[in-house]
Chains A and B, each alone.
Chain A
Amino acid sequence: MEVLREKVEEEEEAEREEAAERAEWARTEKMMRPVEVRKEETTLTQETLRDLEKKLSEIQIPISAELPAFTKDTIDISKLPVSYKTNTPKEEHLLQVADNFSRQYSHLCPDRVPLFLHPLNECEVPKFVSTTLRPTLMPYPELYNWDSCAQFVSDFLTMVPLPDPLKPTIKSEEKVLPKKYTIRPPRDLCSRFEQEQEVKKQQEIRAQEKKQLREEEERLMEAEKAKPDALHGLRVHSWVLVLSGKREVPENFFIDAFTGHSYSTQDERFLGIESLWNHKNYWINMQDCWNCCKDLIFDLGDPVRWEYMLLGTDKSQLSLTEEDDSGINDDDDVENLGKEDEDKSFDMPHSWVEQIEISPEAFETRCPNGKKVIQYKRAKLEKWAPYLNSNGLVSRLTTYEDLECTNILEIKEWYQNREDMLELKHINKTTDLKTDYFKPGHPQALRVHSYKSMQPEMDRVIEFYEMARVDGLIKREETARTMTEYYQGRPDFLSYRHANFGPRVKKLALSSAESNPRPIVKITERFFRNSAKPAEEDVAERVFLLAEERIQLRYHCRDDHITASKREFLRRTEVDSKGNKIIMTPDMCISFEVEPMEHTKKLLYQYEAMMHLKREEKLSRHQVWESELEVLEILKLREEEEAAHTLTISIYDTKRNEKSKEYREAMERVMHEEHLRQMETQLDYLAPFLAQLPPGEKLTRWQAVRLKDECLSDFKQRLINKANLIQARFEKETQELQKKQQWYQENQVTLTPEDEDLYLSYCSQAMFRIRILEQRLNRHKELAPLKYLALEEKLYKDPRLGELQKIFA
């Protein structure tokens, strides 16, 4: 019953988001008895009214006043706004209306559960439920549609089970409670089992064989089966009802806030609805819920089915057109509407809660502390916020063999933002087979890698992304003794290569740095049909039997044939009777040709073909070794990646991306400096002179001319001053030098070598200073007229001295 209130904070968020979708909060319970539909209401006489009033005032409303077990320590009340702590007069009025409504209701329907109208908020202040809803549009596109929004809310909420109202001490039952919406009711399992049983009975032979198994199964089933629910039909729960109409919602449905799942209104796990509310009104269900919610009609405008609390706030009809119409009317007859409001209806006061704010961090973190664990039957799902785990793990699903969750069957781990593009890791604990799935973009184009051990030359399957590799490899399978590769889209039409390895020969000399590859016994290669060649020249399969020095060829089959040409080469190095080496003999090439040809009978042709194949054999052998090396490389790379597990950060992620942050800061710095420089260049020469004049007035021509002259003469003076200053310094330095020289000449004889050194170094320094001053003076003399002209030009162009131009115009 208190589910709603105990987590007001979180639910408010949900409420307000959902309100945007004109969701209705529903409160339900199993209707124990059919509801009597009131009819006499309209025919109340004065007397009965008084009587009623009396009766009503006597009724003690069992408002859901029990304090929730959940502590409110976590909420700092002092920081909350005033609206949380007090009620406005309008709210007070509303509460009175609600109390009155509630009194009437409990009088008329004494058997029904008291209404959930104004629970206490975190500040112990009663607030009407509708005012706890505040429609808010959030800046996240994920929250725009109900499914992802519900998912977010469910992630955001933490389920805290209530103490059992019947047997508060028994904790085992409590644990069962939260599972109500997470597992399928065992009833379903039962019926299916019975069906199965029936089928099995018909198959007697099988039945006997499987009997033991089945008994075992039965036992397990029994163990799994939830104990009968003592609170069945007594539990009250809140969930979201979305009505059809707006935003292309085709039909009404429920959303369970804890799981974020949607349910049809026909779902039999929803036993009934007590009342509904949204941010505008509050309705009580007057329909019979004997058949769960299946027969409910969600036409809130029908006062017989849905008893509303406030009249006229929403004209009760919730269909889209109605609302639009009323919107238009609002504009037209504001006065009439106002009167009506005063007379009959009562406005729902504005929501007292603050607008919800979800920071991007909180949004990304989703769950409290970024972590959430959901326990399912025989399975556990863990969720983490992205970047929370340093290896990029975002969720893990562990499935168990038993109900106690001790024997792990398999583990699935999902990753995000991995630099090695790892997406999913699947570990099967029974076979010990690990399978890694990658997104496109791995440096080795990996797609799937399944293995039992990271040691080379073991059972392993590596799949690659199609078209990502230059050599067209799409799959490589390995066992201890074989390696099979599958190709696609190669220019040489190779489709398959299979290598058999022999046992490794032990090398005597361990000194050789090179690895000791396994000897290849046999290589089989298959090719796709190359339509550019005639079938009898297009090899379909070639087998290199390296140990026997035998090469077998099988050609493609011609379209209208059933047999294909074959050729077998046997390389025998023999010597004839005269001791000459036999190059080629007819028995070294045994061929079967579907259409015997002239030129293939030639020894030269066969010899050349054989030589070609020998070369190919070498290449293929090499290729196999290369592949082995590549596997080693991939394994090494994988190990490194696993060890490093670097995460990528999008360049748009300005918070995490250090580089972009630095860059942005640098850019900002540069911008700032640029700005300063610009300020400098825009030094206003005219400003001091303009300040003398009365502000805001347009300059007369005479004033402009004077201003210009003043400015120019001032500048001229500054230039002259500067020149004089340099000149003065120059003269001073020269004089000093001359004095020193004089002094030196006079005392030259008596000077110690140290003094002389001192004098000499002074001289060179002084000379340097004089030279620099001279240069600066010359430069100033050169530039001064130019600067003067530049200023003059600038002043002419200054818009404030526009009058000047007129003189010359």
Chain B
Amino acid sequence: MNWLCDLMEPRVMDDDMLKLAVGEQGPQEEAGQLAKQEGIVFKDVLSLQLDFRNILRMDNLWQFENLRKLQLDNNIIEKIEGLENLTHLVWLDLSFNNIETIEGLDTLVNLEDLSLFNNRISKIDSLDALVKLQVLSLGNNQIDNMMNIIYLRRFKCLRTLSLSGNPISEAEDYKVFICAYLPDLVYLDFRRIDDHTKELAEAKHQYSIDELKHQENLMQVQLEDEQARQEELEKHKTAFVEHLNGSFLFDSMYAEDSEGNKLSYLPGVSELLEAYKDKFVIICVNIFEYGLKQQEKRKTELDTFSECVHEAIQENQEQGKHKIAQFEEKHLSSLSAIREELELPNIEKKILECSADISELFNELMMLEMQLVEQLEETINMFERNIVDMVGLFIKNVRSLMAQCRDLENHHHEKLLEISISTLEKIVKGDLDEDLPDDLRALFVDKDTIVNAVGASHDIHLLKIDNREGELVTRIDSWCTHLVDKIHKDEIVRNRKRVKEINQYIDHMQSELDNLEYGDILD
């Protein structure tokens, strides 16, 4: 009766329903008693079954962080939602619902088996995140376009697919088409694809498949190129000299410089500009190469440092482990000796001995740790000094190279000014031969105007150079500071952790001994 009512009434996935389901599906018998006694936390549930419950809306699932298997089939769900937190989900069953579009699955990267059988889906998409997908069931839906199959080519692990009961399955070459475009598929519509069909499909669609493959390859190559470029740029950025391996800086100087561009039409200026650019670019490339080299040096320095530190820590850990192993061996035998001892004074004496052992272990371990801290501190300080020096040298050299750029600019400015003034004189005298563009001629009104124009251009150029230099210096400085900070911080964290670990262990040992004492006295 109740069940019938449920059929009528759409239900909500509330806490009670979930608790009930979890309780029913959780551990049974003795374990069940324990579970009941303690209560089950949703976070620990691995599998949940919520079928035939007339659920309309998916809700309240966010607590099931570790859920692996979720069954929501045979409900009246219309929209896939609320699954964002269930990132460990491997199996999701949403068959026999009223879903119209595939959505809300973008976080389920571990999903391997997805069933959307008997829904109202008309298009396969939004499955991009499901890289591990192996089984996809989309039968009894409304997919009517064969091109949906091509979308499925991206799932490299997909082996089982069901699409029967869709409009496309009526098509004449439905099976052959799918086999051709999804060559790794093993089962289609719950049947194994035989080799004969595979061959047939391959032969029939070879041309279009080849074309598709070619396109896919092209895309892949493009993507890889883009990635490689990006990586290259990233590398340059870590060296703080990106875009200096060419005329980028020079071009940027003239990008916002309208006066400069106008003045380049003056007679003799274009040659001057050409020579100026060449020289400028050479210096830029110098900076670029120097930067890469320095970056390499810094990296080696850092790698060596990390390696040494790692080795030191490892060795120290080994010593610690050894000490603990030694202690445990002795400790175990003394514990069993205490258990077997009958005389109370003897027991007390032995317990005291044990206690002394524990504190001695503590001292030894702490000593080891202190030793390591001191050693590391020294090393870190040395590294800090070295890296700061390296950065300082780099900045100094870059500054001097930049100064050369500025000199070039100043030189160019002087020349340009000279030409401008002589041109002005010519214009004033009226014996200018060449035609000048109108907007350039407009600058030659009087001496002040032309001098101002040339000066403005010069100022812009200097500003650009200053900016680039400033950017470089700021970034490398902050990188250096961050690096050093991080190393110090990491070391502190490591030390804290180790001290905590030691304390925890010693406390445990001590309390074990105390418990023994307590138990013995009870006995």
Residues of B493-511 contacting chain A, CB below 8 A: 494, 497-498, 501-502, 504-505, 508
Asked if A604 is an interface residue, CB under 8 A from chain B, the answer is: yes
Q: How far is the CA of A602 from the CA of B40 in the complex (A)?
A: 10
> Interface with A: B115-123, B204-212, B234-242, B317-325, which one?
B317-325
Q: Closest CB-CB distance, B212 to chain A, in whole Å?
A: 37
Residue of B nearest to A563 (CB): B505
With contacts A560-B494, A599-B44 known, is A607 near B34, CB below 8 A? yes
Q: Which of B30, B34, B44, B504 contacts A594 (CB 8 A)?
A: B504
* Contact status A604-B501, CB under 8 Å: no
* Contact status A608-B31, CB under 8 Å: yes
Asked if B33 is an interface residue, CB under 8 A from chain A, the answer is: yes
Asked if A592 is an interface residue, CB under 8 A from chain B, the answer is: yes
User: B31 to chain A: which residues have CB within 8 Å?
Assistant: 604, 607-608, 611
* Contact status A562-B37, CB under 8 Å: no
User: A603 to chain B: which residues have CB within 8 Å?
Assistant: 34, 37-38
Q: Which of A561, A584, A608, A611 contacts B501 (CB 8 A)?
A: A561
* Contact status B34-A562, CB under 8 Å: no
Asked if A379 is an interface residue, CB under 8 A from chain B, the answer is: no
Asked if A446 is an interface residue, CB under 8 A from chain B, the answer is: no
* Contact status B34-A604, CB under 8 Å: yes
- Of A557, A563, A599, A602, chain B has the most CB atoms within 10 Å of the CB of A563
Asked if A583 is an interface residue, CB under 8 A from chain B, the answer is: yes
Q: Closest CB-CB distance, A604 to chain B, in whole Å?
A: 5
User: B317 to chain A: which residues have CB within 8 Å?
Assistant: 560-562
User: B508 to chain A: which residues have CB within 8 Å?
Assistant: 592
* Contact status A604-B365, CB under 8 Å: no
Q: How far is the CA of A583 from the CA of B35 in the complex (A)?
A: 11
Residues of B53-101 contacting chain A, CB below 8 A: none
Residue of A nearest to B40 (CB): A604
Interface string of A581-620 (1 = CB under 8 A from B): 0011000001010100001001110011001000000000
* Contact status B324-A604, CB under 8 Å: no
Q: How large is the interface on B (under 10, 10 to 19, 20 to 34, 35 or more residues)?
A: 20 to 34
Interface string of B395-421 (1 = CB under 8 A from A): 000000000000000000000000000
Residues of B118-139 contacting chain A, CB below 8 A: none
Residues of B10-59 contacting chain A, CB below 8 A: 27, 30-31, 33-35, 37-38, 40, 44
Q: How far is the CA of A602 from the CA of B34 in the complex (A)?
A: 9
Q: How far is the CA of A560 from the CA of B310 in the complex (A)?
A: 10
Residue of B nearest to A562 (CB): B320
* Contact status A594-B33, CB under 8 Å: no
* Contact status B504-A584, CB under 8 Å: no
Residues of B468-523 contacting chain A, CB below 8 A: 494, 497-498, 501-502, 504-505, 508, 512
Q: How far is the CA of A266 from the CA of B508 in the complex (A)?
A: 74
* Contact status A563-B33, CB under 8 Å: no
User: B30 to chain A: which residues have CB within 8 Å?
Assistant: 583, 607
Q: Closest CB-CB distance, B318 to chain A, in whole Å?
A: 9
Residue of A nearest to B317 (CB): A562
- Of B31, B37, B313, B494, chain A has the most CB atoms within 10 Å of the CB of B31
Residues of B279-294 contacting chain A, CB below 8 A: none
Residue of B nearest to A606 (CB): B34
User: A599 to chain B: which residues have CB within 8 Å?
Assistant: 44
Q: Closest CB-CB distance, B43 to chain A, in whole Å?
A: 8
Q: Which of B27, B313, B324, B494 contacts A563 (CB 8 A)?
A: B324
User: A590 to chain B: which residues have CB within 8 Å?
Assistant: 512
* Contact status B504-A562, CB under 8 Å: no
User: A561 to chain B: which residues have CB within 8 Å?
Assistant: 317, 501
Q: How far is the CA of A584 from the CA of B37 in the complex (A)?
A: 11
* Contact status B494-A604, CB under 8 Å: no
Q: Which of A557, A583, A607 contacts B321 (CB 8 A)?
A: A557
* Contact status B498-A562, CB under 8 Å: yes
Q: How far is the CA of A563 from the CA of B502 in the complex (A)?
A: 8
* Contact status B35-A604, CB under 8 Å: yes
* Contact status A562-B324, CB under 8 Å: yes
User: B27 to chain A: which residues have CB within 8 Å?
Assistant: 604, 608
Residue of B nearest to A566 (CB): B508
Q: How far is the CA of A563 from the CA of B324 in the complex (A)?
A: 8
User: B498 to chain A: which residues have CB within 8 Å?
Assistant: 562
Residue of A nearest to B26 (CB): A604
Residue of B nearest to A552 (CB): B332
User: B321 to chain A: which residues have CB within 8 Å?
Assistant: 557, 562
With contacts A583-B33, A594-B501 known, is A562 near B38, CB below 8 A? no
Q: Which of A560, A562, A592, A607 contacts B365 (CB 8 A)?
A: A562
Q: How far is the CA of A170 from the CA of B498 in the complex (A)?
A: 85
Q: How far is the CA of A562 from the CA of B328 in the complex (A)?
A: 13
Q: How far is the CA of A607 from the CA of B313 in the complex (A)?
A: 38
User: B497 to chain A: which residues have CB within 8 Å?
Assistant: 560
Interface string of A540-579 (1 = CB under 8 A from B): 0000000000000000010011110000000000000000
User: B365 to chain A: which residues have CB within 8 Å?
Assistant: 562
Interface string of B446-488 (1 = CB under 8 A from A): 0000000000000000000000000000000000000000000
Residue of A nearest to B35 (CB): A604
Q: How far is the CA of A370 from the CA of B132 in the complex (A)?
A: 70
User: B494 to chain A: which residues have CB within 8 Å?
Assistant: 560
Q: How far is the CA of A586 from the CA of B504 in the complex (A)?
A: 20
Q: How far is the CA of A557 from the CA of B498 in the complex (A)?
A: 13
Q: How far is the CA of A560 from the CA of B491 in the complex (A)?
A: 12
User: A602 to chain B: which residues have CB within 8 Å?
Assistant: 38, 44
User: A562 to chain B: which residues have CB within 8 Å?
Assistant: 317, 320-321, 324, 365, 498, 501-502
User: B35 to chain A: which residues have CB within 8 Å?
Assistant: 604
* Contact status B324-A584, CB under 8 Å: no
Q: Closest CB-CB distance, B502 to chain A, in whole Å?
A: 8
Q: Closest CB-CB distance, A573 to chain B, in whole Å?
A: 12
Residues of B342-380 contacting chain A, CB below 8 A: 365
User: A563 to chain B: which residues have CB within 8 Å?
Assistant: 324, 501-502, 504-505
Q: How far is the CA of A590 from the CA of B498 in the complex (A)?
A: 23
Q: How far is the CA of A590 from the CA of B515 in the complex (A)?
A: 11
Q: How far is the CA of A562 from the CA of B361 in the complex (A)?
A: 13
Q: How far is the CA of A336 from the CA of B494 in the complex (A)?
A: 97
29 contacts between A and B (CB under 8 A): A557-B321, A560-B313, A560-B494, A560-B497, A561-B317, A561-B501, A562-B321, A562-B502, A563-B501, A563-B502, A563-B504, A563-B505, A583-B33, A583-B34, A584-B34, A590-B512, A594-B504, A594-B505, A599-B44, A602-B38, A602-B44, A603-B38, A604-B31, A604-B34, A604-B35, A604-B38, A607-B31, A607-B34, A611-B31
What are the 3 tightest A-B residue pairs by CB atom distance, in nearest-first order? A562-B320, A592-B508, A563-B505
Residues of B in contact with A (beta carbons under 8 Å apart): 27, 30-31, 33-35, 37-38, 40, 44, 313, 317, 320-321, 324, 365, 494, 497-498, 501-502, 504-505, 508, 512
Residues of A in contact with B (beta carbons under 8 Å apart): 557, 560-563, 583-584, 590, 592, 594, 599, 602-604, 607-608, 611
Given contacts A557-B321, A563-B324, A604-B38, 14 further A-B contacts (CB under 8 A): A560-B313, A560-B494, A560-B497, A561-B501, A562-B320, A562-B501, A563-B504, A583-B30, A583-B34, A592-B508, A599-B44, A603-B38, A604-B35, A607-B31
